[in-house]
Structure 1
Amino acid sequence: MTLIISWIGVDDNKEGKKPASLYIASDSRYSWGKADKYDHGIKVFGSSRFPEIFGFCGDVLIPSIIMGQLLPQIDSGIILNDLDNGNEKNNKILDFISTSIENYPKGQSTGSFTILHGTRSGKEFSCFKTTFDKVNGLKNEQIHLPNISTKICSEGSGKKEFDTNFQEWERERHNNYRTSRGVFHCLSETLKTIKDPMTGGLPQIVGLYRIENFRLFGIVENDKKYIYGKESSEDINSNRIEWRNENFERMNPETLKILSGAQRQPI
């Protein structure tokens, strides 16, 4: 079932407190019950053509197929329009998910799943949660975005452990109380100690800011670089994406140290 979370970062501006960033993050484990596991599975996605990010938990096969078909069509400009607002975009994506499920062999689904969809229209952020199971079918809801930096959603078999741990970050005395970095730090710490056998590996994360489209983040852990849970030992263009450590501090991918000028965060 795994673990997926979403959170927002809120800034002060002339109009008051408003979301300035939206993130979806997950663990990296695909599992086959308790029998076997693969800790390099992709669970978060983004569009290079539109400000859309996605993540899923639960059944792996159906959401993977949906994402594999959906994103190329979004990037080709044949599903969404530049003038669509958040609800219009989500309605189109929900229709795509619905028809994909209708055409899937009814007896071959291995269970339920949840897909998160984060989007931005102009500078207004929205996030939606789509759930499916054989009993209740497909359901969709918009997630409320408060005017504080905090978690807005957690799902999957690792949810209980994450939510229990997050209570510590929700205490006012915590150094990372109501900060974007606090949510990610809690995710990193949870994955290091989690007991749920279907959740594990390193975190993976995509995000949206007020400008441009989705951003993929690399993870620096124990002086190594990881993308989607897989160590990046190849000769890659590391400077093309942002890199973060477990405290969500910006990292230099060449030196594997905190980026010059980046603010060191309390833990």
Structure 2
Amino acid sequence: MTLIISWVGVDDKKTGKEISSLYIASDSRYTAGIKTKFDYGIKVFGASKYPEIFGFCGDVLFPSTILGQIIPQIDNGILLKESDDCNSKNSKIFTYIETSLKEYPDTFLGNTFTIIHGTRFGKDFKLFKFFYNKKYGIEVSEIPLGKRSTKVLSDGSGAKEFDNKWSKIWNNPKHNDYRTSRAVYHCLNQTLKEIKDPHTGGLPQIIGLYRNNNSRIFGIVENESKYIYGKPSSEDINSTSIEWRNENFERVDPKTLKILEGSQRQPLQDATP
């Protein structure tokens, strides 16, 4: 099943609190049964020419296939228009998924899957959830985002363990990281290190959306190594083309693996309030 979460970052402006960022993050494990696993599976996706981000949990084949079809059509201006607001974009994406399901063999589908869609129009951020159940079909709902930095969604077979840590530790007003973006990432990181659910594992992967530009992929730096979608980046890659974060959700220079000059240093992870 996996673990997928989403959270928002909120800034204080003269006009009040405003959402400045929306993230979707996941583990990196695909499983077949309990014993067969692959810890380099992509579960978060983003369009490069539109402010659209996605993630999924549950059945792997259909969500990964459909997002592989949707995103190129978004980026080539086929599926969406720049004048579409958040609701219009989500409606078009839902229709595409719904009509594709009608042609998809039932024998290929697992019992359930969830696809999360984060979007922005102007400064308006929204998050939607597509939930499929083999008995009742697919439905869509909007996830309230609120105006504080916090987790807004957790789903999948690993969500129970994540939510337990979240409620007991990081969502505690006495914790130094209370109501911060880094608190959600710390909880995810710690959960994956201690996870008991056999269908959840590997390193975190994150896609983000900010007030400007489109989706942003994050590389992960852990134990002085770089990872993208759970896979070690040992190849000769252009590391400077994306943003990198360490275990403490600090911005990192991919060449030196040190905190970027001028970046705000965050308090170390602390699993006690």
Check whether TM > 0.5.
yes
Deviation at 1:79, TM superposition (A): 0.5
Partner in structure 1 of residue 140 of structure 2: 140
Partner in structure 1 of residue 209 of structure 2: 208
Partner in structure 2 of residue 114 of structure 1: 114
1:1-267 matched pairs, under 5 angstroms: 1-167=1-167, 168-266=169-267, 267=269
Deviation at 1:110, TM superposition (A): 2.2
Deviation at 1:111, TM superposition (A): 2.2
Q: What is the SS of the residue equivalent to 1:184?
A: helix
Alignment RMSD: 0.7
Q: What is the SS of the residue equivalent to 2:244?
A: strand
Match of 1:249, as an amino acid?
E
Match of 2:5, as an amino acid?
I
Partners of 1:134 and 1:77 in 2: CA distance: 32
Deviation at 1:247, TM superposition (A): 1.3
Partners of 1:228 and 1:97 in 2: CA distance: 24
Partners of 1:245 and 1:97 in 2: CA distance: 35
Q: What is the SS of the residue equivalent to 2:154?
A: strand
Extract unaligned runs of 5+ from structure 2. none
Describe the superposition over 1:76-109 as per-residue Cα deviations: whole angstroms up to 9, x where unpaired: 1011010111000000000011011111012221
Describe the superposition over 1:12-57 as per-residue Cα deviations: whole angstroms up to 9, x where unpaired: 1122001110000000000012020000000000001100000000
Partners of 2:220 and 2:152 in 1: CA distance: 22
Partners of 1:32 and 1:193 in 2: CA distance: 21
Identical aligned residues as a percent: 63
Describe the superposition over 1:94-152 as per-residue Cα deviations: whole angstroms up to 9, x where unpaired: 00110111110122212210000000000110000000011121010001011100000
Partners of 1:142 and 1:15 in 2: CA distance: 25
Partners of 1:99 and 1:245 in 2: CA distance: 40
Match of 1:235, as an amino acid?
D
Describe the superposition over 1:226-262 as per-residue Cα deviations: whole angstroms up to 9, x where unpaired: 0000000011111110000111100110011111111
Partners of 2:130 and 2:110 in 1: CA distance: 17
Partners of 1:78 and 1:136 in 2: CA distance: 30
Bigger shift: residues 101-110 or 42-51: 101-110
Partners of 1:201 and 1:256 in 2: CA distance: 20
Partners of 2:108 and 2:53 in 1: CA distance: 27
Partners of 1:137 and 1:240 in 2: CA distance: 40
Partners of 1:108 and 1:238 in 2: CA distance: 37
Normalization by structure 1: what TM-score?
A: 0.99
- Check whether the contact 1:11–1:20 (CA below 8 A) recurs between aligned residues: yes
The ranges of structure 1 where at least 4 consecutive aligned residues each deviate by more than 3 angstroms after the TM superposition are none
Bigger shift: residues 102-111 or 68-77: 102-111
Deviation at 1:166, TM superposition (A): 0.6
Normalization by structure 2: what TM-score?
A: 0.97
- Check whether the contact 1:182–1:247 (CA below 8 A) recurs between aligned residues: no
Q: What is the SS of the residue equivalent to 1:234?
A: coil
